[in-house]
Amino acid sequence: MDKFHEECGVFGICCDGEASKLTYLGLYALQHRGQESAGIVAHDGRRFYAHKAMGLVNDIFDEDTLDALKGHMAIGHVRYSTYGSTVIENAQPLVVNNHRGGLAVAHNGNLVNAGRIRHKLEEAGSIFQSTSDTEVVIHLMAQSKRESLIDRLTDALTVLKGSYSLVMLTEGKLIAARDPRGFRPLVLGRLKDTYVVASETCALDLIEARYVRDVAPGEIIIFDENGLQSYSPFPKEDHSFCIFEYIYFARPDSIVFGQNVYTIRKSFGEKLAREDDIEADLVIPVPDSGVPAAVGYAQTAGIPFEFGLIRNHYVGRTFIEPAQGIRHFGVKIKLNPVKQELCGKRVVVIDDSIVRGTTAKKIIGMIRGAGAKEIHMRISSPPTTHSCYFGIDTPTREELIASNHSIKEVSDFIGVDSLKYLSLKGLMDSANQTGLSFCNACFSGQYPISVGEDVDSEVIQLVLFPKRSRAMGAV
């Protein structure tokens, strides 16, 4: 489907005798955040046990692989890729052994200055195992000359620019860290005496852990058998929670940034209806992501809600298409119209976003082919006009249809009778019911941090080459 894609989901647990099995369940619940690879690293106090592979969680792990992942602490990761190509070397958690006993890292987000830092580290002699931006965290920690774990981690994270929700295992401890702007979500839960961290609360729900709170932006939490220690070593920054978590990425049953996703997604549909005045016979969602907004739209507009498109939930990722003869098979294998509901009707179709417009065009063609009299497409977010640099896989700006076409041109391209988007103000008012602060750069172009690699080179210099920096008078 033609969507923005979430990059990754992370999970961590301390301390439980079934740490790897609970991590497996957590990753299972987070599968929607990444389907290209998955991995678990466990630690028994002496050594790491790792298993990762390309594919879905359910295909990668079985009883035997989980039994081999021994220990009372574990971290896990599901990955869709953005930075770095899709190869097993980039599957996470990344694990390295060093003189301090090793380090395992799983990362959700994107480090916009990773390329530059990597270049500096390679100049200084570091050898990288992967092309993933996450690996710079490991090398930066190894370069830090400071003694304590929290100081070395603070040194490393001070240099990084961009988004990160991290879980790590090292020196008999589990670590959770979130960037000072809090782009990507990270929650803290409790399962009796066990601590759990996860990208979304749906992972806590599956293992019957209780949601305690979010890991705060800029917070580092270190867990061990004695409990947790919380640190806030960075200067406070304005928050930039990713608004797209509410529009599409997160599961609707999750609490993200302290609010239930289904409720917020439905309120987008309610707002969209209040901004609209179309007369129609029924409202249908593009399943699954358009469903909550369509419910909100239909209830507010007083128009009957129906499932006019049925989704096949059993489509694998490796469907083999015949080379000749059948065109546009991809969307048809996933969605099929209910002709009896659509024929002769004036239909409002609700989806969460339009990216390139190619999938919307095919869906509208199917609904038209089912005999709909009028088709009015309504989108529960504003036009996506800019790429994301903070952990979301997006096309280039030129490929985003709304970046270089008017709404009328997009409407003509996808073949609808009318097209409307939720206004940016409507989106922000609906999401911001409790005074939160969001990133909306893919709609507004207003990036909360500069997306070039122009990070303060003196900061990099200080962490990587402290002696040389002092000699140069940088402190």
Position 421 contacts ligand SF4 (CB under 6 A): no
CA distance to 10, 84, 146, 338, 424, per residue, from 38 (Å) = 10, 15, 33, 36, 35
372 dihedral zone (left: phi>0; alpha: psi -120 to 50; beta): beta
Binding track over 357-396 against ligand SF4, x by CB under 6 A = -------------------------------x-x-x----
SS3 of 21-53: HHHHHHHHHCHHHCCCEEEEEEECCCCEEEEEE
Single out the segment in contact with ligand SF4 by CB under 6 A; choices: 21-29, 396-404, 416-424, 434-442.
434-442
**Count of CB atoms within 10 A of residue 288's CB?**
13
**Residue of the chain from 57, 242, 370, 462 that contacts ligand SF4 (CB under 6 A):** 242
B/e letters for 196-222, b = 16+ CB within 10 Å, e = fewer, are bbbbbbbbbbbbebebeebbbbbbbbb
- As measured in angstroms, the least distance from the Cβ of 50 to ligand SF4 is 30
Single out the segment in contact with ligand SF4 by CB under 6 A; choices: 124-132, 224-232, 276-284, 437-445.
437-445
Single out the segment in contact with ligand SF4 by CB under 6 A; choices: 128-136, 239-247, 339-347, 427-435.
239-247
Footprint on residues 152-191 left by ligand SF4 (CB under 6 A): 183
Position 244 contacts ligand SF4 (CB under 6 A): yes
Based on DSSP, count helices (H) and strands (E) in the chain, helices before strands: 18, 25
Query: Cβ closer to ligand SF4: 14 or 388?
Result: 388
- As measured in angstroms, the least distance from the Cβ of 4 to ligand SF4 is 6
Query: Cβ closer to ligand SF4: 245 or 270?
Result: 245
Tell me the number of residues near ligand SF4 by CB under 6 A: 12
Position 28 contacts ligand SF4 (CB under 6 A): no
In 7-123, the DSSP E strands lie at: 8-14, 37-43, 48-54, 73-79, 94-96, 103-111
Residue identified by tokens 């989980």 is 66
Query: Cβ closer to ligand SF4: 92 or 381?
Result: 381
Return all residues near 312 (Cβ < 8 A) that are at least 6 apart.
333, 334, 335, 336
As annotated, the active-site residues are: 8
Q: Which residues of this protein are in contact with ligand SF4, per CB under 6 A?
A: 4, 183, 242-244, 388, 390, 392, 439-442
